[in-house]
Amino acid sequence: MDLLLQQLQFSLSVTGPICLMLFLGIYFRRSQLIDDHFIEIASRLVFKATLPTLLFLSIVNSPHDVTSGGSLVLYGVISNFAFFLLITLVVKYYFKREADQGVIIQGAFRSNSGIIGLALIANAYGSDGLAQAALYVAAITLLFNVQAVITLTPKGSQSGMKVLVMVGKTLTKNPLIIAILLGLGFSQLNLTLPDVASTAGQYFANMTLPLALICGGGSLDIHQLNHDKAPAWSATAFKLLACPILITFGAWLWGFRGAELGIIYLCSSAPSAAASYVMARAMGGNATLAANIIVLTTLLSLLTTTLGVFVLSSLALI
């Protein structure tokens, strides 16, 4: 019984803080302590400054060689692309409305690994886990962007290659990827930051996850859930059940255990990324459906991820 309680406590320690911060964001937005303008500016600050700083310092201060996780990155790319192909076949078979197909597929595979996933990993494994997850998150983020373009480009459109080129240019300017590459460079060259810069940078980095999660909660619009219920719930089931179960089971078969298996699970169990809405709207997809999927997966992932961590820890796999 004590062991069961310890495992439950560990599960809640991973997901509980995320839950509280998201609900704080919802409360702050409803009480008008924060507004859309604040959320927009703060989200930009997180993406362009504080999160890159967090990833950079996690890699630089890591006591081990983060470049040794090649098999983790390789598995992440292969498994997520395989899931993308599988879910594309399933959705195209069962959902005939073209404007919904790409949005459902994107909602099913595109995890919010850059914010929710990293927050979960930080709670479970600390700064060492963040450093270990940095390359993995960078690789699957690149993959998710390419897959999103493929699935959201209208059938028969001739602009697909142009969009891919645009995404490629955007990714080369992505602050997260630049920060990870800089961190790897510092780490491999055994360079060290001055104590003043390191301490100030850590203050800055510590803002990342609370600010990002409050903005994530504040941006949720529950009133949108009255539309497109069946496709939204289907995409939610694909994202929160099929994706983590299949990818984590495949990782177990591959031989991953401990922190590596935990990183794979926590990234795959994260809700649909907020960027899904932006991409769907820009490329003519059903933007309302995309918003619904983000809301449902964000709220329900708190339950499903807790359950998953509990099961995996009970089996002594993570």
Q: What's the 3-state SS for the chain?
A: CHHHHHHHHHHHHHHHHHHHHHHHHHHHHHCCCCCHHHHHHHHHHHHHHHHHHHHHHHHHCCCCCHHHCHHHHHHHHHHHHHHHHHHHHHHHHHCCCHHHHHHHHHHHHCECHHHHHHHHHHHHHHHHHHHHHHHHHHHHHHHHHHHHHHHHCCCCCCCHHHHHHHHHHHHHCCHHHHHHHHHHHHHHCCCCCCHHHHHHHHHHHCCHHHHHHHHHHHCCCHHHHHCCHHHHHHHHHHHHHHHHHHHHHHHHHHCCCHHHHHHHHHHHHCCECCHHHHHHHHCCCCHHHHHHHHHHHHHHHHHHHHHHHHHHHHCCCC
The amino acid that residue 302 corresponds to is: L
Residue 265: its pLDDT value, please?
Answer: 97
Can you give the pLDDT at residue 301? 94
Q: Please report the pLDDT score of residue 162 as a whole number.
A: 60
Mean pLDDT, consecutive 10-residue stretches, the chain (318 aa), reads 74 88 91 91 89 88 71 95 97 87 94 91 88 87 85 66 63 79 84 87 90 88 71 95 97 95 96 84 80 91 94 91
In this predicted structure, what is the pLDDT of residue 253? 97
Beta partners for residue 272, in sequence order: 111
The domains located in the chain, with CATH, are 2-314 (1.20.1530.20)
How much is the pLDDT for 191? 81
Predicted confidence at residue 68, as pLDDT, reads 67
